[in-house]
Structure 1
Amino acid sequence: MLVLESPTKYLALFNKACIAVQRSLKRTTTAGVATPGYCAVKEEAQVRVSHLPNHPSLLRTRIPGSEDAGRLLSISGTVIRTGLVKMMETHRVYSCTKCRGTFCVDAEIEQYNYIPKPTRCLAPGTEHCNSTSFVAAGAEAAEEMQRCVDYQEIKIQEQVGRLALGTIPRAIVVVLERDLVDHAKSGDPITVTGTVMRRWRPVVIGERPDISVIVRANSVHVHSDQAMQVAITDELRAEFCSFWVDHARRPMHARDIIVASMCPQVYGLFYVKLAVMLVLISGVAHCDASGLRVRGEAHMLLVGDPGTAKSQFLKYAAKLVPRSVLTTGIGSTSAGLTVTAVRDGPEWQLEAGALVLADRGLCCIDEFGSIREAEKSTILEAMEQQSISVAKAGIVCKLNARCTVLAAMNPKGKYDVQSSLAINTALSTPLLSRFDLVLVLLDSHDEQWDSRVASFLLADPSTGASDKGDVAGENVEYPKEAVPDTATNSNDIWSFDKLQAYIAYVKSAFQPQSTPASEQVLTRYYQMQRQRDTLNAARTTIRLLESLIRLAQAHARLMFRDKVVLQDAIIAVVLMETTMLSASILGSTDALHTTFPEDSDLFYAELQDLVLQRLEMAHLADGDV
């Protein structure tokens, strides 16, 4: 308790005790002979404190206030700004001109490391020396007594996922010293254990003093694994295994139960829910022969008319993934999506944007078409190379942006099925080619479909929607457990927490490897797309094959296995056909007006026969799927 209430005093004593123990060990004798070279003494040893007791007063997710000044706390947040590494003078050595004694004055952390000039002689053994004349110590004394350490300031922000709706996240400056410098980068989720302090500039007559709250870090822990933010217990693992064992004879039915748990308050949209689920799970990242990283994260773009539940999928997906950022194109600039240089006093600092903050997570961008053309080019590198190169204000560096992009937009005017996707969306070919899936949702005003949607929503007591936007599922507030889609004929829909844990578990537990049958199907389909007369330059590139591989790997993870079989390749081909961009095998498919099949396994068997027949690979149906 003494350390928690007075950390400045007792942590300094711990550091001195650590140095004293080292010196004691150095004087260790072996067989009565002193061995001074047995070990070396680290004079700048620091005692680090971490993993404080799990108590709300010690572990904080909210930024502390002035009432916490002088206490030792652990604060969790996301790094949004990193400053330059500087050298801080911890104390300065002075020499008295009268008694020739030397003494040192410590820097004031509360006053931006300001070292005040002493008012009287503080040299030891000179209590009666009242001299007020001092000079800086010579080079020899400076080498012995003066110390300079590395120093850096970062800014952390409260994690948006842990805040209540409508709450604006706050930020606080964290001071890093010595070996903690450069320990965290922009976008990293960290837990800082340190002392809360007040800091102010030197007082100026006639001006109001500016006092702020900072944290002087004692230890920094970077959370690099997303799955650690989701509680996956042994009971959940056993429950997942038993679920697939019970449905071993009907695997596709079991898969549809999981898919139906995705955004259950939206009626139908079977292919869209399956596609969003695969994008959230994504494939396996790997390095090629040259050592370059090939991304495993899949990207998806939803293009559709207003009221087709695009924003609803984005909001639900952002809640499923622990580390996610939800933004809109109309409210974001290129700096807001990537990174910007901010001037803080006399120096420049880098401030992370949405793609950097969503590293190893999900970035949802609504109203994607509202981003200006000049700003869309800035995210090309982030979507493919999974990094952002910065050269601003004399700062040249590279930041990680290993995130999945889930974007939604309205078409430019009325969607023309006769025109290409680039014309309907006003997006460039390089940008479209980076999306693994582009689903087009067209509202065809089907009277029968509208009646079924209305009946579904009116039967759901959790929705009191009456206007057109709510009926379409665009603005419905979803609970954690909603009424399932009646088309699935299933009463055992998964809860929100269980679905979240399942996605995090399969992403970390399975690294699917391809099989010869799956490779033949994906290769044959890619060759057919390249040989078509009506070639779509925005989609039929080598990235099409990479997208198929990622989707097949994601489906294998969804099916709870570590091998990509023929079944996964067939589903990847079917989803690519639903994009309405390459309808050469199954014909044009309306992704909006689709419901869950009554017999999922029979439905898949028919799809498999059709796909293999069109690919002229019917002999694979007799093999091991």
Structure 2
Amino acid sequence: MGMNKMLEKTRVFQCSKCHGFIEVEADIEQYNYIPVPTKCTASAENCPGRLFNPLPTDSESGMNKCIDYQEIKIQEQPNKLNIGSIPRSITVLLQNDLVDNAKSGDHVTIIGIVIRRWKYLISGERPDIALCISANSVFVHNNQEEFFGTTPEMKTFFNNHWQGHANDPMKARDIIVSSICPQVYGLYIVKLSVLLILIGGVAKHDDSGLKVRGEAHLLLVGDPGTGKSQFLNYAAKISPRSVLTTGIGSTSAGLTVAAVRDGGEWMLEAGALVLADRGICCIDEFSSIRESEKTAVHEAMEQQSVSGAKAGMIINLNARCSVLAATNPKGKYDTEQSITVNVALASPLLSVPSQASANSNNNSKKDNKFTFNQLQQYISWVKNQFHPVSTPESERILTKYYQLQRKTDNRNAARTTIRLLESLIRISQAHARLMARDKVTSQDAIITVMLMESSLLSATPSFNSLNTGPESGSHKNLKNPLHTNFPENPDLAYKIIEKKILEMLDIDETFNR
């Protein structure tokens, strides 16, 4: 995106013979070049003048005219292209009130006139001609419903889905969860986690200027061949705003922003996190990013912005996106060691679930799953329709769990900061949205605690209830909570989990009844 500047639209020349004024307009097809007149046209008489002096821009005559001017470059959406296609781009010229309407990462609809541009002709040199668009209208899409609106028929279908499962809401939820990445077998908790990341929590903005992000981040850690990249590809495909990249192919400029020189002027090129604004950025092979480049994404992940100073330009761009990353463990995953040791990654900004496994079963019926289009519209519907608020019951559970983590002797000091509590709130809000609710109930808080315990590779007995296979009571399954399959009776399994988690938190089971 080019910088906003003042463009000299017309320049006034004065004839040295008759002292008349000649107004010459900038030629947009020659990069706004203003040619010097070759003959005098200031008076009706045939003036023989051949020498013309330009008036200064700030002349008291006020005849020179300047306008706001900006050049931006638009690119095809990568997630809408076929595999193997390279996104094409074209320059768009903005003038007057259209300047600064769009920012890096915005999805826009441009209406304008296609024109050709070339440099002024020089003897002996071949002219380079390029196409561009002179814009008449710029429409910015900031709402997900503007990409694919949720039809009234689909909203009725969603409401009927929940009304039909009023007595077994967890079963209704698992039907939606099982629709995530159907080509991957099982991995119940991983699919639930990815779906919650796609939905996200509720951002908070108060009058004092305090901003708390609603986007959550997720890191999948697992051995090769366990389906991590499949989840990233599916998330990038289902999200209307998404960027899929790899750590080995991304520098700090490729993830954030770069300043490049184009035609003698500096321009900003948005990186993956900026292009994914209001969407999701999927980063595969996250551990391949060099250590000096990992720090470049910390601000984008926590503050939801990219700032800095490059080439004399003060940069402040939005990067309000969720980060879904995947990485392999450093060697064989050792469940006795912390996640920091296993992946050689120390970052308090990431919520990290444990390693994924392909050795799981899926009990959900295929004919009950949402189609890709239904799931896409459902995510858009709950994100725009529901803005859940916390309840005393949910606050008590999350607070007790946070306090318990702070008291643990072997706790990870990088994870058990106030950011852990903020993560708990975001995940509970996302689950409330998934359940199509405007309030965060104790049920949402219980599921949040279960997911956080899974990410910590906890061996608490609460996860045994999710295992319906013959080895459900084995120590192996307890050490690998992500091996759990979809429970045959989700609501009964939840009751068992709720009882054990409340016992772990030392909360009376009847506190919210």
TM-score bracket for this pair, using the shorter chain length: over 0.9
2:20 maps to which residue?
101
Q: Distance in 2 between matches of 1:134 and 1:491?
A: 80
Partner Cα separation in structure 2 for residue 560 and residue 85 of structure 1 = 43
* Alpha carbons of structure 1 residues 442 and 136: separation in structure 2 relative to 1, 3 Å: closer
Task: Give, in angstroms, the shift of residue 415 of structure 1.
Answer: 1.4
The aligned residue for residue 76 of structure 1 is: none
Out of 482, 492, 504, the position equivalent to 1:602 is 492
1:611 aligns with 2:501: yes
Q: Aligned pair 1:269/2:184, yes or no?
A: no
1:83-94 map, 5 Å: 83-94=2-13
What residue is the counterpart of 2:468 in the other structure?
A: none
* Mapped contact 2:218–2:353 kept (Cα < 8 A): yes
Instruction: For residue 394 of structure 1, report the CA deviation from its aligned partner.
Output: 0.9
Q: Deviations over 1:24-56 (max 9, x none)?
A: xxxxxxxxxxxxxxxxxxxxxxxxxxxxxxxxx
Do the aligned partners of residues 142 and 93 (structure 1) sit closer, same or farther apart at CA in structure 2, a change above 3 Å counting?
farther
Instruction: Give the C-alpha shift of residue 167 in structure 1.
Output: 0.9
User: Which residue in the other structure is 1:357 paired with?
Assistant: 275
Higher Cα Rg, which structure: 1
In the TM superposition, residue 580 of structure 1 has moved relative to its aligned partner by 3.2
Q: Does residue 414 in structure 1 map to residue 290 in structure 2?
A: no
Q: Distance in 2 between matches of 1:137 and 1:267?
A: 74
Q: In structure 1, what is the equivalent of residue 295 of structure 2?
A: 377
Q: Report SS of the residue matched to 2:91.
A: strand
Q: Matched residues in 2 for 1:233 and 1:195: separation? A: 33
Counterpart AA for 1:293: K
Q: Residue type matched to 2:489 in 1?
A: D
Out of 337, 355, 362, which is 1:440 matched to?
355
Report if the CA contact (8 A) 1:93-1:103 is conserved: yes
Aligned to 2:446: 570
**1:251 paired to 2:169:** yes
1:497 to 373, 380, 384: 373
> Residue 539 of structure 1: CA displacement?
1.6
What whole-Å deviation, never above 9, does each CA across 1:591-622 have from its counterpart, x for those lacking one?
442210011111111111111112111334x6
Q: Please point out which of 179, 184, 191 is paired with 2:109.
A: 191
State the distance in 2 between where 1:442 and 1:511 align: 34
Deviations 1:212-263 (A, max 9, x none): 1111122212111123212211111111111111110111110010011111
In structure 2, what is the Cα distance between the partners aligned to 1:529 and 1:138?
70
Alpha-carbon offset, residue 344 of structure 1: 1.4
Which residue number corresponds to residue 311 of structure 1?
A: 229
Give the Å deviation of 1:106.
Answer: 1.4
Candidates 137, 144, 165, aligned match of 1:226: 144
Shift of 1:205: 2.8
> Equivalent residue for 1:551?
427
User: Residue 139 and residue 211 in structure 1: after superposition, are their counterparts in 2 closer, same or farther (change >3 A)?
Assistant: closer
Question: Is the 8 Å Cα contact of residues 585 and 611 (structure 1) preserved in structure 2?
Answer: no
Look up the SS of the partner of 2:353 in the other structure. Answer: strand
Quote how far apart the aligned CAs of 1:171 are: 1.2
Q: How far 1:590 sits from its partner (Å)?
A: 1.8
Cα distance in 1 for partners of 2:317, 2:95 equals: 22
Aligned to 1:297: 215
Residue 512 (structure 1) aligns with: 388
CA distance in 1, matches of 2:193, 2:187: 10
CA displacement at 1:289 relative to structure 2: 7.3
Change (3 A) 1:592 1:615: closer
5+ residue gaps in structure 2? 464-477
- With over 3 angstroms needed to count, the CA separation of the structure-2 counterparts of 1:287 and 1:583, relative to structure 1, is farther
**Whole-Å Cα distance in 1 between the matches of residues 306 and 57 of structure 2?**
45
Distance 1:257 1:423 in 2: 36
Q: How does 1:430-469 map to 2 (within 5 A)?
A: 431=347, 433-441=348-356, 449=359
TM-aligned CA deviation for residue 492 of structure 1: 1.9
Pairwise CA RMSD? 2.0
TM-score, length basis structure 2 = 0.93
Distance (Å, rounded) in 2 between the aligned partners of 1:488 and 1:561: 24
CA contact 2:305–2:320 (8 Å) conserved in 1: yes
- Stretches of structure 1 that go unaligned for 5 or more consecutive residues are 1-81, 444-448, 454-484
Report SS of the residue matched to 2:126: coil
Shift of 1:139: 8.6
Instruction: Tell me, in whole angstroms, the C-alpha distance in 2 between the residues paired with 1:393 and 1:385.
Output: 23
**Matched residues in 1 for 2:488 and 2:232: separation?**
27
Aligned 8 A contact 1:226 1:361 in 2: no
C-alpha distance after superposition, 1:471-496 (max 9, x if no partner): xxxxxxxxxxxxxx4x1146221100
Measure the CA separation in 2 of the matches of 1:139 and 1:303.
61
1:112 alignment counterpart: 31
What's the offset of the Cα at 1:304?
0.3
Distance, in Å, in 1 between the alignment partners of 2:155 and 2:161 is: 10
In the alignment, is residue 125 of structure 1 matched against residue 40 of structure 2? Answer: no
Shift of 1:203: 2.2
| Secondary structure class of the residue paired with 1:522 | helix
Measured in 2, the distance between the counterparts of 1:134 and 1:372 equals 59
Shift of 1:288: 5.5
Distance in 2 between the 1:199 and 1:142 partners?
33
Determine the C-alpha separation between the residues in 2 that align with 1:553 and 1:615. Answer: 20
| Alpha-carbon distance, 1:132 to partner | 2.2
